[in-house]
Amino acid sequence: MRRINVLKEEVARIAENATLSQSEKNKINAAKYSAMMAPIVVALERRLASTSRKPETPHELWFHEEYREHLKSAILSFKTPPASAGALGEVWRPFDDIAASLASYQRKSSISLGEVAPQLALLSSSDVPMPGLEKQVTVSESDRSSTTSLQGIVTITSFSEQLTILSTKTKPKKLAILGSDGRKYTYLLKGREDLRLDARIMQLLQAINGFLRSSSATSRHLLDVRYYSVTPISGRAGLIQWVDNVVSIYSVFKSWQNRVQLAQLSSMAPANSKNPAPPPVPRPSDMFYGKIIPALKEKGIRRVISRRDWPHDVKRKVLLDLIKEVPRQLLHQELWCASEGFKAFSSKLRRYLLTNLENLFQVSSFQVQALYIIYN
């Protein structure tokens, strides 16, 4: 939309030039449109080429038959400069129509593995080590040979038929893998994300554990950093070990928001009245942009630019304003309310402190506040 708005301004400016004929104005407008949209056209054609290769799975075949011609037509239409300034707002409409058609499919909560990876669905055994368990057994150089078995190493036997699709931005998939030991191992398959840094952080945590165990000053306190396996598959995808029985700080925050909203509605409405459904609780991202955009406008920044270009003082002010809106003792209260007594509370508090070292490397603003609450 930013490029469209710039083009509209250019069209209006050229239209005011009385020294140019209409045909000259049209040529200039067409040239400016082609030049400004060229990077987008290149990206669209590259994506079309990647989705137009020979389909190998039922899912790719479905997409190829359903949308290939629509995408080609939309790109061709987009490359053609519009006849008037009024038509500039319509150049993206074919892509909006395709996105609307895909919206119902994107809301699916699960998908069959046979649709997206039929070869994995047919797998019945393999010599591939289970992700995260590859280094459980070390084979010496003298024992390595073409006939060496993987005895002692858990390998992948098969994959579960159904994949659960999470509703977050990149739509990661939760999948279960059956190991050669008969156990099921659950992972989160994340795409469009480079997990190599995450894997290095987990390796760092393993090294820290080694130092903690080797030091007499720390080993007697049984200090240990809990971590999970991260297995990069490529620079754009990877597997993350699924950790069960955990409560995220985000869910703690959402629970607090829901309680505050219910308390406000209860205090405002009479007991016998019928109230309409409460408004949705704002998402943290909505709360953030609700503050950062007005703050940027106060600094004279009107157009959306890269976060790297946002003034540091504006980001700091927004962060402090958001922190003020959250109770200082929120995490402390949640740990207390979820405990059967003081002993259980002390145990949870100690466990949280001992296992929170990882968050010092991958910390969010809300976690910073939570750590501040605990230590103070």
**176, 162 contact by CB (below 8 A):** no
What are 362's two structure tokens? 């991958």
What are 314's two structure tokens? 């504006």
3-state secondary structure of 176: strand
The pLDDT assigned to 200 comes to: 93
| Residues 186 and 229 occupy one common structural domain | yes
| Residues 370 and 262 occupy one common structural domain | yes
CA dist., res. 286 & res. 283, Å (int): 5
CA angle at residue 123 from 199 to 145, to 5 degrees?
A: 70
pLDDT in tens, 176-202: 999 999 999 999 999 988 999 999 999
| Residues 180 and 197 occupy one common structural domain | yes
pLDDT in tens, 321-355: 998 888 888 888 888 888 888 888 888 887 777 66
DSSP conformation letters of 216-268:
HHHHTTT-------EEEEETTEEEEEPPPS---HHHHHHHHHHHHHHHHHHHH
* Residues 6 or more apart whose Cβ sits within 8 Å of residue 28: 14, 20
The pLDDT assigned to 26 comes to: 87
CATH (domain of 197): 3.30.1010.10
What are 130's two structure tokens? 């289970």
CA dist., res. 221 & res. 140, Å (int): 34
CA dist., res. 215 & res. 276, Å (int): 61
| Residues 116 and 237 occupy one common structural domain | yes
pLDDT in tens, 38-59: 999 999 999 899 888 899 999 9
Q: Is residue 353 part of a domain?
A: yes
CA dist., res. 295 & res. 314, Å (int): 7
CA dist., res. 52 & res. 69, Å (int): 10
CA angle at residue 57 from 52 to 58, to 5 degrees?
A: 100
Domain that holds residue 298: 249-375
Final residue before a domain boundary, out of 181, 210, 241: 241
Q: Does pLDDT of 100 surpass 80?
A: yes
| Residues 187 and 232 occupy one common structural domain | yes
pTM of the prediction? 0.69
| Residues 85 and 170 occupy one common structural domain | no
In this structure, is the dihedral angle defined by the CA atoms of residues 196, 48, 168 and 121, taken in order, positive or negative? Answer: negative
Strands 156-159 and 162-165: unpaired
Place of tokens 């540091």: 312
* Residues 6 or more apart whose Cβ sits within 8 Å of residue 223: 212, 354
Lowest mean pLDDT among 79-93, 141-155, 245-259, 360-374: 360-374
Radius of gyration of the chain (CA): 28
